[in-house]
Amino acid sequence: MTEVSAELLDRALVEESAKKSGLVWVSAGAGGDRAVWHVWHEGAVVVVGEGAEQPLHGWAQGDTVTVTVRSKDTWGRLLAWPARVEELSPGGEAWTAAVVELKAKRLNSPDFETVTDRWARESRVLRFVPTGGSSQRPGALPAESGAAAPVPTPATTRQPIPAALPRLLFGRGRKRRRP
């Protein structure tokens, strides 16, 4: 396979995986991965946040982040790629086009008719534009899971159930008297 066709295939994989997933993880260094809902619009992952929407964790214009997409079938990591953050200005042509797509995908919005006005006042719309090929993809995934370790706790659910519980729940062991 030529380098150009491999690059086109990789770009297509990035686009298709982002279109099919309603949730991506965005990582910017030591802050860890953050899950955000998004839409794929005009070659980038687009998110809306702050105000009454999801937190955007301080991502700003020009930042470099890593976007990770999960598989819709297995929910495991499928693909990761580097991206540049672009902030869209409220009211601009690009902002308006992106917000139309976001509004269509926004579930359970309490103010569906006026949500775009609210977003213009109190939220930010960011684009995560792919800047290179995928760093992780099928056949080239890291060995570690990436999952956070559970917090140590003395709580447990691995103790035997009380001996009387089945009798209490299912009435076993009781003899019924006939009238």
Q: Which of 2-11, 20-29, 113-122 has the lowest mean pLDDT?
A: 2-11
Instruction: Scan for tokens 């997409």, then name that residue.
Output: 69
Q: How many CB atoms lie within 10 A of CB 165?
A: 10
Q: Is the pLDDT confidence value at 155 over 80?
A: no
pLDDT at 142: 62
Q: Is 116 helix (H, G, I), strand (E, B) or coil?
A: helix
The dihedral built from the CA positions of residue 95, 97, 101 and 104, taken in this order, carries a sign that is positive
Instruction: Please give the structure tokens belonging to residue 38.
Output: 């998004």
Name all domains of the chain by residue range, CATH numbers in brackets.
3-148 (2.30.110.10)
Q: Which of 6-10, 93-97, 113-117 has the lowest mean pLDDT?
A: 6-10
What are the φ/ψ torsions at residue 24 (nearest 5 degrees)?
A: -130, 160
With residue 105 as reference, give the H or E element that holds it.
helix 93-105
Higher pLDDT, 76 or 163: 163
Instruction: Scan for tokens 């140590």, then name that residue.
Output: 152
**Cβ(126)–Cβ(56) below 8 Å:** yes
State the pairing for strand pair 39-41/124-130: unpaired
Q: Note the pLDDT tens digit of each residue in 24-66.
A: 889 876 667 788 888 999 989 999 998 888 888 888 888 888 8
pLDDT at 93: 92
Q: What angle do CA 122, 100, 19 make, to 5 degrees?
A: 110
Closest-CA residue to 59 (of 40, 83, 76): 83
Q: Is the pLDDT confidence value at 175 over 70?
A: no
